[in-house]
Amino acid sequence: DADVTQTPRNRITKTGKRIMLECSQTKGHDRMYWYRQDPGLGLRLIYYSFDVKDINKGEISDGYSVSRQAQAKFSLSLESAIPNQTALYFCATSDTSAGSVYGYTFGSGTRLTVV
């Protein structure tokens, strides 16, 4: 099983629909993130959470909301999807302590298309 699992892997939805992307992890990391990737741009941070009671906006949070249901689960919602939210979405967890080798673990991504 993957350390960070995203569902669904692919989704096509219509403009105006509500959609939820889910992320679960078995790494035991406290910190979780949602990123968006668009062609020609670096990954951009949507929301992040340092623990269950701590939720923070990233640089492009407008139009999105999140829920940290448990340490292992972090969901991203698009309340009313619009076409410019078509992108590849990544969930990630981090362990950036001194002994950490890689720091971040990424999910496999969710390719979302809004038509």
Partner 1 sequence: KNEVEQSPQNLTAQEGEFITINCSYSVGISALHWLQQHPGGGIVSLFMLSSGKKKHGRLIATINIQEKHSSLHITASHPRDSAVYICAVRFGNEKLTFGTGTRLTIIP
Pick 73 or 104: Cβ nearer partner 1: 104
Pick 20 or 88: Cβ nearer partner 1: 88
Tell me how far apart the alpha carbons of residues 68 and 65 are, in angstroms, rounded to a whole number. 10
100 touches partner 1 by CB under 8 A: yes
Which DSSP letter does residue 28 get? -
Query: What string marks each residue from 1 to 30 as x (binds partner 1 by CB under 8 A) or -?
Result: ------------------------------
Beta bridge pairs of residue 25: 4
Pick 16 or 103: Cβ nearer partner 1: 103
Amino acid at 42: G
3-state secondary structure of 40: coil
Pick 89 or 114: Cβ nearer partner 1: 89
Tell me how far apart the alpha carbons of residues 85 and 64 are, in angstroms, rounded to a whole number. 10
Tell me how far apart the alpha carbons of residues 27 and 8 are, in angstroms, rounded to a whole number. 20
Query: What string marks each residue from 46 to 85 as x (binds partner 1 by CB under 8 A) or -?
Result: --x-x-------x---------------------------
Instruction: Answer yes or no: are the C-beta atoms of 77 and 89 closer than 8 Å.
Output: no
Residues in contact with partner 1 by CB under 8 A are: 31, 40-45, 48, 50, 58, 88, 90, 94, 96, 100-106, 108-109, 111
